[in-house]
Amino acid sequence: MTPADSAAAAARAAIRRDSIAKDRDKLYNEALAKIAGRENQPAESVYKNIKIFQGTPAGRLLRIMGQGFDPALGVSCSHCHVVGEYDKEDKPTKQIARDMFAMVTAINTQYLSKIKNLRSPNPVVNCTTCHRGQTRPGAGGGGPPRPAAAPPG
Ligand code: HEC
Ligand code: HEC
């Protein structure tokens, strides 16, 4: 790749990030408008299919989606949902997100909190710790390139 090629690729990536962020903001605001006046009610009393966020205020659930999951993975709502049909389970990524949330909770409560002599008083991992704006951490999507495997022999 010439320097001009990489500059063009970086510009394309920036445009793509902007358009994803715009889409996400639009869908987030639409979803928030739909529950106007009910933002502080528990998610399960406002929504239809709540398994992991029972007891979380409905407005906070939307913030977790729009300001947590989406930017952590570098996606908009359609990565896990058919837009507007948020209660459905059409996409496997929705259940993966639930399972990832359980994994993160286990790491934080069962492992990280028991490691002694860390610098932070309450260190935690979250979606961004691994994903950093990519859907596939460790699959070549960002970060320094991995060293090539040693040649045979
Ligand atoms: C990484 C996957 C993921 C992304 C991206 C995501 N969501 Fe979700 N969403 C979920 C999961 C998982 C649930 C179910 C939570 C539970 O079971 O408690 C959910 C539930 C919902 C619900 C409740 C629906 C119901 O009636 O049960 C709404 C509304 C919603 N999401 C809106 C959004 C919006 C708006 C966006 C984009 C700003 C978004 N989500 C992005 C994973 C995602
Ligand atoms: C310890 C590291 C780690 C953490 C923390 C983590 N993930 Fe993941 N996530 C992964 C790995 C590894 C994959 C598998 C990537 C692959 O298929 O190559 C993955 C895949 C996913 C996928 C599937 C993406 C796709 O398009 O195939 C979703 C959705 C997801 N994670 C959501 C989340 C959410 C939401 C959180 C925070 C609650 C989270 N993850 C936290 C490591 C992590």
Q: CATH no. for residue 81?
A: 1.10.468.10
Residue 138 CA, ligand 2 centroid: distance in Å = 10
- The answer to whether the CB of 41 falls within 8 A of the CB of 54 is no
Q: Give the mean pLDDT of the chain.
A: 91
User: Rounded distance, CA 119 to CA 104, Å?
Assistant: 20
Domain-located, residue 146: no
For the segment 108-121, the average pLDDT, to the nearest whole number, is 96
Q: Cα dist. 120→117, 125, 132 in Å?
A: 9, 12, 20
What's the pLDDT at 140? Answer: 60
Q: How many domains does the chain have?
A: 1
**Does 100 have pLDDT greater than 60?**
yes
Report pTM: 0.91
pLDDT tens-digit map of 42-84: 999 999 999 999 999 999 999 999 999 999 999 999 999 999 9
Three-state SS at 57 = strand
Domain that holds residue 82: 10-113+125-131
- The answer as to whether 100 is a domain residue is yes
120 in any annotated domain? no
Which residue, by CA, sits nearest to atom 42 of ligand 1? 94
User: pLDDT at position 103, please?
Assistant: 98
Identify the nearest ligand to the CA of 24 by its number.
Answer: 1
Report residue 133's pLDDT band, with 50, 70 and 90 as the boundaries.
Answer: very high
| pLDDT value of position 152 | 47
Ligand 2 pocket list (CB less than 6 A): 69, 73, 93, 96-97, 100-101, 104, 125, 127, 129-131, 135-139
CA of residue 153 to ligand 2 center, whole Å: 35
